């Protein structure tokens, strides 16, 4: 009779199950949460009991729902999960260990954009639309097998309409079109969406540059960093993300300029100069794979000044003091030789 009573109590009481620790110490509200844009544009979320050690054998779900014109940005400031296979800072396998899975909605289906384990910091992700889900899994194990305290994770979230782009003037809240005018600033910076985090999938961003027509201005773009997933010729056929260029509104036929992708640009590719005052840089990502994107500078210049600069650069050998000195020595040697011949 007593034995039957003990079995009944153990079945009914969650505190005596294998997940008892979770049930006793972690409330479900710490573990399953929905964050809505209408309730707050930004905030933080953590694994249960952070920065204290989290329990094994639990799954937590954090759901983010923005307004239609918003994207969800999540920044994992600190991640320290149970991991013993190899270097926790460079984990090779995250499928059967404690992990964080980040999912987006692509045509109604949930799709992974990241599966992380071990340790990392400042990893920044963005959804291509108003939804994102973060799932934290800690696998079932004997508590005694934990060799060191693992804090779990701490992250920030934001609902953004600016795609994580902070320069230029945005055309409209839900459009990734940013305009840079010479009147506003002669030079500045611009980046791919969500930089320096991974750019969102299925996203097109346009950076429109407008120089002064009367001043015959042009714009010069210089890529300081560049990492765009794809293979040449960076087309949709090669399933590539890309950066392309357009001299819109300047000539009837827009000169064909090469698309850029990959994570290496030659010196020649790093600087792109417009033909006239109006120029457009177009970043486009598809539905698979992603990367860091780019950071670039822009500078409006008068076309004739740029031409002078170009010819000056072409002639820099002649203007180089060392080259100039060598040239004078050569002339002197030739002159002495000429005198000797005459004598």
* Stretch of 52-60, 177-185, 253-261, 285-293 contacting Ca ion, by CB under 5 A: 285-293
Cα within 13 Å of Cα(268), Cβ side: 1
Exactly one of 37, 241, 260, 283 binds Ca ion (CB under 5 A); that residue is: 241
198 binds Ca ion (CB under 5 A): no
* Stretch of 45-53, 126-134, 167-175, 237-245 contacting Ca ion, by CB under 5 A: 237-245
Q: Write out the DSSP string of 65-93.
A: E--TT-EEEEEEEEEE----SS-TTS-S-
Least Å distance, CB 232 to Ca ion, is: 15
Least Å distance, CB 206 to Ca ion, is: 18
> In Å, what is the CA distance from 253 to each residue of 214, 250, 284?
21, 8, 22
Distance of alpha carbon 73 from the chain centroid:
11
CA gap 343, 339 in Å, rounded: 6
Run of H or E including 19: none
Least Å distance, CB 24 to Ca ion, is: 44
CB nearer Ca ion, residue 119 or residue 229: 229
CB nearer Ca ion, residue 196 or residue 276: 196
Q: Would you state the structure tokens that stand for residue 94, as one six-digit string?
A: 């995250």
286 binds Ca ion (CB under 5 A): yes
Least Å distance, CB 129 to Ca ion, is: 16
CB nearer Ca ion, residue 167 or residue 286: 286
* Stretch of 117-125, 227-235, 266-274, 325-333 contacting Ca ion, by CB under 5 A: 227-235
* Stretch of 48-56, 229-237, 250-258, 322-330 contacting Ca ion, by CB under 5 A: 229-237
* Stretch of 10-18, 51-59, 81-89, 289-297 contacting Ca ion, by CB under 5 A: 289-297
Exactly one of 202, 270, 289, 302 binds Ca ion (CB under 5 A); that residue is: 289
User: Please, where are the H alpha helices in the chain?
Assistant: 2-12, 20-25, 28-31, 267-270, 303-314, 316-319, 321-342
Exactly one of 229, 245, 265, 279 binds Ca ion (CB under 5 A); that residue is: 229
323 SS3 class: helix
* Stretch of 21-29, 84-92, 267-275, 280-288 contacting Ca ion, by CB under 5 A: 280-288
CB nearer Ca ion, residue 67 or residue 286: 286
Long-range contacts of 13-22 (CB under 8 A, 24+ apart): 18/57, 18/140, 19/55, 19/57, 19/58, 21/55, 21/56, 21/143, 22/48, 22/55, 22/57, 22/58
CB nearer Ca ion, residue 66 or residue 128: 128
Least Å distance, CB 229 to Ca ion, is: 5
Strands (E), the chain: 32-36, 42-46, 58-65, 71-80, 99-106, 109-116, 119-120, 123-126, 131-138, 152-160, 169-172, 175-181, 187-191, 204-210, 217-227, 242-246, 271-273, 278-284, 293-302
Least Å distance, CB 289 to Ca ion, is: 4
Contacts of 142 by beta carbon, 8 Å cutoff, 6+ apart: none
State the number of binding residues for Ca ion (CB under 5 A). 5
Least Å distance, CB 108 to Ca ion, is: 20
202 binds Ca ion (CB under 5 A): no
CB nearer Ca ion, residue 240 or residue 274: 240
Q: Which 61-80 positions form the footprint of Ca ion (CB under 5 A)?
A: none
CB nearer Ca ion, residue 23 or residue 286: 286
122: left (phi over 0), alpha (psi -120 to 50) or beta: left
* Stretch of 68-76, 202-210, 221-229, 306-314 contacting Ca ion, by CB under 5 A: 221-229
Residues that bind Ca ion (CB under 5 A): 229, 241, 285-286, 289
């Amino acid at each position: 009779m007593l034995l039957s009573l003990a079995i009944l109590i153990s079945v009914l009481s969650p505190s005596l199950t294998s997940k008892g620790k979770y049930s006793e110490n972690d409330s479900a509200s710490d573990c399953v949460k929905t964050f809505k844009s209408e309730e707050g544009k930004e905030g933080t979320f953590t694994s249960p009991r952070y920065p204290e050690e989290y329990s094994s054998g639990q799954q937590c779900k954090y759901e983010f729902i923005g307004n239609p014109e918003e994207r969800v940005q999540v920044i994992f400031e600190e991640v320290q999960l149970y991991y013993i296979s190899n270097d926790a800072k460079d984990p090779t396998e995250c499928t059967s260990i404690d992990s964080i899975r980040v999912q987006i909605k692509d045509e109604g289906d949930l799709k992974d954009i990241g599966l992380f384990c071990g340790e990392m910091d400042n990893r920044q992700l963005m959804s291509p639309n108003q939804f994102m889900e973060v799932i934290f899994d800690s696998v079932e194990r004997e508590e005694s097998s934990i060799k060191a305290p693992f804090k779990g994770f701490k992250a920030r979230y934001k609902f953004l309409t600016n795609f994580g782009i902070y320069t230029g003037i945005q055309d409209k809240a839900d459009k990734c079109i940013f305009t840079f005018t010479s009147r506003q600033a002669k030079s500045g910076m611009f980046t791919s969406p969500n930089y320096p985090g991974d750019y969102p999938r299925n996203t097109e961003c346009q950076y429109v540059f407008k120089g002064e027509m009367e001043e015959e201005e042009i714009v010069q773009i210089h890529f300081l960093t560049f990492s765009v997933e794809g293979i040449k010729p960076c087309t949709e056929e090669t399933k590539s993300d890309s950066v392309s260029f357009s001299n819109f509104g300047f000539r009837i036929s827009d000169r064909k300029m090469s698309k850029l992708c990959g994570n290496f640009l030659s010196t020649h590719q790093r600087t792109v100069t417009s033909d006239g005052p109006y120029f457009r840089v177009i970043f486009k990502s598809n539905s698979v794979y992603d990367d860091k994107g780019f950071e670039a500078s822009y500078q409006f210049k008068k076309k004739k000044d740029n031409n002078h600069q170009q010819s000056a650069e072409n002639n820099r050998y002649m203007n180089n003091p060392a080259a100039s000195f060598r040239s004078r020595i050569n002339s002197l040697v030739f002159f002495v030789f000429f005198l000797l011949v005459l004598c």
